[in-house]
A = this chain, B = another copy of it.
Amino acid sequence: MTKNPVADAAVSARVEDSGNGRRYRPGRIRERNREKILQAAEEEFALNGYKGATIQNIAERAGLPKSNVLYYFSNKQRMYAAMFDDILGRWNKVFSDVRPEHDPAEALASFIRTKVEMSRRYPLASRLFAMEIIQGAPFLMDHLRTNMREWVRGRTEVIQQWIDDGRMAEVDPVQLIFLIWSSTQHYADFQVQILMVENKAEYEQRDFDHAADFLTDVILRGCGLEKPT
């Protein structure tokens, strides 16, 4: 009962919620701090993993006392979950609106480019997701089993249609999605390795352009497609 009844309010009630935003007015202080904390959490979790991350570190990154962080997210697990809510929301949009009547070469090229762009803009999100899956997806298991499985099913149907119509080579659509996922996310997840091997201090925009060009080039040709203009 002594527990603060408002903590996590903004977590369960989505940001855009307010379908009837009467009960708890989020307030911009809440909004701003929530943002700061989530960003700090991304860094910390991506760097040390779920168990390795400490609330103290997150607080320091966010420039707040630990107690204040725990005021916004009543515990570590909820913080972790809130992060993935944000991340998955962002990701779900990519390649979701593809249709059988689209041009396969254009659609796949756009998919690849968007994915590489995501690796550039949200590398922490990508790493976070990777670590979670590598560790057996204890938190995202459910998401994989439902949303993601369904998403893949929908996309593969479109690709299969293209194949049936003779518009691209006969390749396993599911494997193709895995190939694009892995090769594009690689630039975010294995950034350090890539930089070290290429003896660079940091990425430049042109590196991503080059990577996207290479991938569309090889993968499209691998699918028997011509690169779109």
Contact A134 B190, CB 8 Å, known A49-B48, A172-B210: yes
Contacts of A6 in B (CB 8 A): none
Contacts of A220 in B (CB 8 A): 222
Stretch with Cβ within 8 A of B (4 or more), from A62-70, A84-92, A99-107, A175-183:
A175-183
Q: Is the interface of A mostly helix, strand, loop or mixed?
A: helix
A17 interface residue per 8 A CB criterion: no
A13 interface residue per 8 A CB criterion: no
A9 interface residue per 8 A CB criterion: no
Contacts of A130 in B (CB 8 A): 130, 134, 189-190
8 contacts between A and B (CB under 8 A): A46-B135, A49-B50, A136-B192, A137-B193, A149-B196, A176-B214, A179-B186, A182-B190
CB atoms of A197 and B148 under 8 A apart: yes
CB-based closest 7 A-B pairs:
A51-B52, A222-B222, A49-B49, A218-B222, A182-B186, A144-B196, A175-B214
In the complex, A46→B51 CA distance in Å? Answer: 12
Contact A144 B179, CB 8 Å, known A51-B48, A172-B214, A189-B133: no
Size class of the A contact interface (CB-based, 8 Å): 35 or more
In the complex, A185→B193 CA distance in Å? Answer: 14
**In the complex, per-residue mask of A136-167: 1 if CB is within 8 Å of any chain B CB, else 0:** 11000100110011001000000000000000
A215 interface residue per 8 A CB criterion: yes
Q: Which residue of B lies closest to A178 (CB)?
A: B186
A224 interface residue per 8 A CB criterion: yes
A120 interface residue per 8 A CB criterion: no
A109 smallest CB distance to B (angstroms): 13
CB atoms of A133 and B190 under 8 A apart: yes
In the complex, A198→B175 CA distance in Å? Answer: 10
CB atoms of B46 and A134 under 8 A apart: yes
A169 interface residue per 8 A CB criterion: yes
Contacts of A198 in B (CB 8 A): 174
Contacts of A136 in B (CB 8 A): 47, 192
A223 interface residue per 8 A CB criterion: yes
